Chains A and B, each alone.
Chain A
Amino acid sequence: MRKRKRHTAGWALFFLAPSAVPLLLFTAVPMVSSLWVSLHRWNLISPMEWVGLDNYTHLLSDPGTRDVFLHTLAYCAGYLPLVFAGGLGLALLLNQRMPGRAFFRAAYFLPVVTSWVVVALVWKWLLNPTSGLVNSLLGALGAPQPGWWTDPAWALPAVILASAWKDLGFVMVIMLAGLQAIPQDVVEAARTDGADAWQRFWRVTLPLLSPSTFFVVVISLINGFQVFDQVYVMTGGGPSGASQVVVGQIYDLTFRYGRAGEASALSWILFAVILVITALQVRGQRRWVHHA
Chain B
Amino acid sequence: MRSTIVRVVGVAAGAAVMLAPFLWTVVTSITPDGSLAGGPTLIVEDPTLAAYRELLDALPMWRIAFNSFWIAAASTLFQLVTGSMAAYGFARLAFRGKGLVFGLYLATLMVPMQVLVVPLFIEMKTLNLQDTYLSLLAPSIASAFGVFLLRQAVESVPRELDEAATIDGAGHLRVFTTIVLPLIRPTLATVAVFAFMGSWNSFLWPLVVIRSPELMTLPLGLSTLQGQFTTDWAVVMAGSVFSVLPIAVVYLLAQRHIIAGIAHTGIK
A residues adjacent to B (C-beta < 8 A): 8-9, 11-12, 14-16, 18-20, 22-23, 25-31, 33-34, 37, 44, 90, 93-94, 96, 98-100, 103-118, 121-123, 125-126, 128, 130-133, 136, 165, 168-170, 173-178, 181, 211-212, 215-216, 222, 226, 228-229, 232-233, 246-247, 250-251, 254-255, 260, 263-264, 267-268, 270-271, 274-275
Q: A28-B104, A31-B111, A121-B240 are in contact. Are A19 and B14 (CB under 8 A)?
A: no
CA distance A32 to B112 in the complex (A): 13
Q: Does B52 contact A (CB under 8 A)?
A: no
B 80-105 contacts with A by CB, 8 A: 81-83, 85-86, 88-90, 93-96, 98, 101, 104-105
In the complex, identify which listed stretch (B43-51, B54-62, B138-146, B155-163) lies at the interface while the others stay far away.
B138-146
CA distance A129 to B8 in the complex (A): 33
Kindly list chain B residues whose C-beta atoms are within 8 Å of the C-beta of A37.
Answer: 118-119, 122
Chain A residue at minimum C-beta to C-beta distance from B14: A90
Q: Does B191 contact A (CB under 8 A)?
A: no
Kindly list chain B residues whose C-beta atoms are within 8 Å of the C-beta of A93.
Answer: 7, 10-11
Q: Is the interface of A mostly helix, strand, loop or mixed?
A: helix
Whether B243 and A115, one on each chain, are in contact in the complex, defined by CB atoms closer than 8 angstroms, is: yes
Q: A19-B86, A19-B142 are in contact. Are A254 and B118 (CB under 8 A)?
A: yes
Whether A125 and B236, one on each chain, are in contact in the complex, defined by CB atoms closer than 8 angstroms, is: yes
Q: Which 9 A-B pairs have the closest CB atoms?
A: A15-B89, A177-B263, A174-B266, A117-B219, A30-B119, A19-B142, A19-B82, A12-B95, A22-B141
Chain B residue at minimum C-beta to C-beta distance from A11: B172
Kindly list chain A residues whose C-beta atoms are within 8 Å of the C-beta of B10.
Answer: 93
B 1-45 contacts with A by CB, 8 A: 4, 7-8, 10-12, 14-15, 17-22, 24-25, 28, 36-40
Task: Select the residue from A96, A103, A118, A121 with max chain B CB neighbours within 10 A.
Answer: A118
| Interchain nearest-CB distance for B122 vs A (Å) | 7
Kindly list chain B residues whose C-beta atoms are within 8 Å of the C-beta of A16.
Answer: 85-86, 89-90, 101
